[in-house]
Amino acid sequence: MQLAQYAIENNLQEEEAFCWWIKPTLKHKKSFIRATQARYAKHTHKFGIQVPATIQEALKIDQEMKTTFWYDAIQKEMANIRTVFHFLDECERVPPGHKWIKCHLVFDVKMDLTRKARYVAGGHVTNPPSELTYSSVVMRDSMQITLLLAAQNDVELLAMDIGNAYLNADTKEKVYTMAGPEFGELEGRKVIIVRALNGLQSSCAAWIVHLANTLRDMGFTSCLADANVWYHSAKKPCGYEYYEYV
């Protein structure tokens, strides 16, 4: 549906690749959303643990089970995403051009039974961004070649995960929301979203651009065969030159 909206915004709906499916897709848009919501509503347990649908239900489960698992997950998520928001004063008006969107918490249970809360934006109600929001991922062949080169040249491999990666990038979308109960004493305040929050249509592309700029500033060069592979030259203590890949 996002692709269909993007095609219409950019006058591509009459092109051969789009004309045959865009109209029926948008015609049944509400039906698709209702079906997805119905499937999500049936998802009540995971690994034998009840998964809440709202913050009120999460706190109720904690109260009944005499635990703080879901409460702790909510507090951790809200602390991690603090930089996403710019809180307006009570008498301060929302800047012109900003659109109100609904945000909410999504709950899940990890493989180690840790409770997880994720604050997401309802980006489906915003207009498709004028810029391209597509972002690619590294190819499997690139990973295999990189591992082979590392093994042949006795190069150490390091792996890491960037927590809340999207939030490192600024968003170009002009949106705001109203702080809910998860914000504690700030509930009811108007909040402008200034970072690439999960759920916004441009968040993934904004993160990829931010990551690319950061790697470029660190001296890395993007590979011509796969733009998601970055490298720069380095030397071993013995003086042997090789390339470091990301």
Q: What is the pLDDT of residue 124?
A: 76
Q: Residue 150's pLDDT band (boundaries 50, 70, 90)? A: confident
**Are residues 147 and 194 both part of a single domain?**
yes
Q: Residue 3's pLDDT band (boundaries 50, 70, 90)? A: confident
**Are residues 30 and 52 both part of a single domain?**
no
**Are residues 162 and 148 both part of a single domain?**
yes
Mean pLDDT along residues 66-86: 93
Tracing tokens 């093994």 back to the chain, one arrives at: 151
- Are 85 and 191 in contact by the 8 Å Cβ rule? The answer is yes
Q: What is the pLDDT of residue 241?
A: 66
Six-digit token string for 46: 């995971």
Q: What is the pLDDT of residue 135?
A: 76
Which residue range forms the structural domain that includes residue 3? 1-42
Mean pLDDT along residues 202-213: 90
**Are residues 87 and 196 both part of a single domain?**
yes
Q: What is the pLDDT of residue 30?
A: 83
Angle at CA of residue 110, ends 114 and 55, nearest 5°: 65
Mean pLDDT along residues 40-51: 82
Mean pLDDT along residues 216-243: 82
pLDDT at 194 over 90: yes
C-alpha distances (whole Å) from 122 to each of 100, 106, 222, 240 are 10, 12, 33, 52
**Are residues 24 and 56 both part of a single domain?**
no
**Are residues 3 and 88 both part of a single domain?**
no
**Are residues 49 and 38 both part of a single domain?**
no
Dist CA 12 CA 142 (whole Å): 33
- The rounded mean pLDDT for the chain is 87
Domain count, the chain: 2
3-state secondary structure 18-35: CCCCHHHHHHCHHHHHHH
Q: What is the pLDDT of residue 52?
A: 92
Tracing tokens 């909206």 back to the chain, one arrives at: 5
